[in-house]
Chain A
Amino acid sequence: MLEVKNLHATVDGKEILRGINFSVKAGEVHAIMGPNGSGKSTFASVLAGNERFTVTEGEVLYEGHDLLSMSIEDRARAGIFLGFQYPVEIPGVSMANFLKVALQEKRKYQGLEPLSASEFLRMMRDRASVVELDSKLTSRAVNEGFSGGEKKKNEIFQMAMLEPKLAILDETDSGLDIDALRIVGTGVTKLKRPDNATIVITHYQRLLDYIVPDYVHVLYKGRIIYSGDKDLALKLEKEGYDWLINQYE
């Protein structure tokens, strides 16, 4: 589904990603961990197409297409979803309206008929329950006045609505209490299907109790320096990154 080859990217002239090689197949869950400043969020942003970052080298294939030549919105419509670490507020625009436009754009891109209003509303109710999101929130403005937990639940709710092929969750667990963490984690797992894949970026093993990864990668100074299975996360939780970094350097 996704193949990243020797990806380099800079921000303001500073190189953040320095040769990432990485591939994801349908049905897989990958966790990316690593110390602060290692380039995890940058990697997520570059995959989504954030123009703050400049790709200087490398290639990304998404379902055989050259992802880097696609616009941000076309990547989204083609099934890439980024769960934001800091979801953005859009005052005055209701969640329902926002999602309606997003979903209809996606359906148009995929050559599907637009959903009727009643189908859409039914879908919203149904999907809000995945993350136990108070359905009243869907009539409020996008993320405006949402608590930290609500914002993160709202990201997963949007994921449930947009049914991405590849979801990239950027520190979705940050700022969540134990209950919210469980709801978000199990929510993501409920959305897992053989034809989709998830990349989970996290600092902590605890999220991975709910979203069980097939692979765990450690990103350090813009490169993946080590990959393993879910036990690697447990080991990192216990021992930190030093042993890996020492090995690498």
Chain B
Amino acid sequence: MEEKDKILDDLTGSEYKYGFVTDIDTEVIPKGLNEEIVRLISQKKGEPAWMTEFRLKAYRHWQTMKMPRWAHLDIPEIDFQAISYYAAPRPKPKYESLDEVDPELLSTFEKLGVPIEERMMLAGVAVDAVMDSVSVKTTFKQTLAEKGIIFCSMSEALRDYPDLVRKYLGSVVPYTDNFFAALNAAVFSDGSFCYIPKGVRCPMELSTYFRINAAGTGQFERTLIVADEGAYVSYMEGCTAPMRDENQLHAAVVEIVVLKDAEVKYSTVQNWYPGDKQGRGGVYNFVTKRGMCRENARLSWTQVETGSAITWKYPSCILAGDNSVGEFYSVAVTNNYQQADTGTRMIHLGRGTRSRIVSKGISAGQSQNSYRGLVRVSRKAEGARNYSQCDSLLIGDRCGAHTFPYIEVDNPSAIVEHEATTSKIGEDQLFYCNQRGLSTEDAVGLIVNGYAKEVLNKLPMEFAVEAQKLLSISLEGSVG
């Protein structure tokens, strides 16, 4: 266990001394935020005028807004003028091969079963030096192109498919939505764009794996996914391997448009730097994720949140079309001094709309873990149904678990169910496992994975296996 802890420590606290932060040759513009900077960002990215205008409007609106303080989070003051909002990464590989990388880091990747290409990317190895990623990518791109699927960075999309982007950008999350959505709209650096044409079923899971070159845009990422009528796509975001970022503030926006009869599955594993054991450092993660579902459409959010010092995130579904379905499956783990306030909003507008919420919070150490969810059934949502289940698991007696369900029903035919449980990993459970020869670490891993199984089962297979290991690793040292 001590050795494991050491590896974990190295990964979570002191990897900078191993030069984990690559000497990326960046082009950084001055710190601070004003209209000039916003224009400069847009100009550097060679954006069309309407996009510059979009950013400026967002910026002006942002200035009128205040940082949201309603969450059950203790958020330190953030000096938005002390941040540099544009850094075009021109990554220069730090290492020529994996042999040069810290072996302990590699052993953790091994433990997590991170694919070799991702290991190299994460460790800052020149990918091309070891494998021909370009050709792999090209093969995928060809397969996708044959089906008419567009999957590229947001910058490329603005250049190559400006009309599509213009039609949908901000249509689900307008810049007026909230403080962080406005900030993101003003300064977003890059992100992903995905379009699935009518009736097309995307033949593969779309994931960061395919866009290795788009890594490093995490700070103000903007994702837009459009599933046209009858289309299907499963999209995976993030990575189970520990992701490091110098940027303390993250404010991403994900917008999903699910047109008639279409289906989108969006899976996230979030493992940003959570801070050290004393609660120093760590990423503040303020994310706005929302999908718009038209008639008969289906949107499913699955998230495994283990990282970040502060998580503020409510992937939501607007069930606008009749008979559309929204789902939210979440496992949120907090350990040490992490804080999470996460949940969902299911807005039932159409008739016969259905939603399902399964939230599993796990708190350890001195962390605070809150579920916050809104189920709203509008007057017209005849026959709407919701089922919510919010479970909390406590490890130790210094952490907190909170549940804030909001239910607003304006249609008498709606059926809304809410169930909540709170449990603790008991001494007797641990003793039972120990007595069968399981170490306490293994026992906690097993119990936690059993607890979270319903959600993990919703993840794509390869993601699920990694997520299971990640849960155990995130909680190492939390008992005994």
Residues of A within 8 A of B (CB): 48-52, 71-73, 75-77, 81-82, 84, 87-88, 90-93, 97-99, 101-103, 105-106, 109, 141, 158, 162
Contact = CB atoms under 8 A, between A and B. Distances in A.
Given A88-B428, A101-B442, A105-B442, A82 B449 contact: no
A87 B446 contact: no
B33 to A, nearest CB: 46
Contact of A109 (B437, B449, B451): B437
B447 interface: yes
Contact of B435 (A48, A90, A141): A48
B429 interface: yes
Interface string B340-367: 0000000000000000000000000000
B80 interface: no
Interface residues of B, number: 23
Given A102-B438, A162-B437, A72 B431 contact: yes
A109 B56 CA distance: 64
Most chain B CB inside 10 Å of its own CB: which residue of A77, A101, A106: A101
Interface string B422-466: 000011110111111111101000110111111000000000000
Contacts, number: 75
B446 A90 contact: yes
B450 A88 contact: no
A166 B454 CA distance: 37
Contact of A91 (B427, B435, B450): B450
10 contacts: A73-B440, A76-B434, A88-B426, A92-B447, A93-B446, A98-B446, A101-B438, A102-B437, A105-B442, A106-B437
Nearest to B432: A88
Contacts of B427: 51-52
A186 to B, nearest CB: 23
Given A52-B427, A72-B431, A90 B437 contact: no
Given A88-B428, A92-B449, 6 more contacts: A71-B434, A73-B439, A84-B435, A88-B432, A90-B450, A102-B438
A213 to B, nearest CB: 23
B428 A73 contact: no
A101 B449 CA distance: 14
A91 B432 CA distance: 13
B448 to A, nearest CB: 9
A158 B450 contact: no
A76 B437 contact: yes
A87 B432 contact: yes
A92 B438 contact: no
A102 B436 contact: yes
B453 A72 contact: no
A19 to B, nearest CB: 25
B438 A90 contact: no
Contacts of A51: 427, 431
Contact of A97 (B426, B439, B446, B454): B446
Contacts of B437: 73, 76-77, 102-103, 105-106, 109, 162
Contact of B446 (A72, A81, A88, A101): A101
A49 B434 contact: yes
A135 B452 CA distance: 25
Closest 10 CB pairs of A and B: A92-B450, A93-B450, A72-B434, A76-B437, A88-B432, A102-B436, A92-B453, A105-B437, A77-B437, A106-B437
A174 B122 CA distance: 56
Contacts of A99: 436
A111 B442 CA distance: 19
B436 A162 contact: yes
A160 to B, nearest CB: 13
Contact of A90 (B429, B434, B440): B429
A144 B430 CA distance: 16
A51 B427 CA distance: 9
A82 B442 contact: no
Contacts of A103: 437
Nearest to A48: B435
Contacts of B453: 92
Contacts of A88: 426, 428-429, 431-432
B451 A92 contact: yes
A48 B434 CA distance: 9
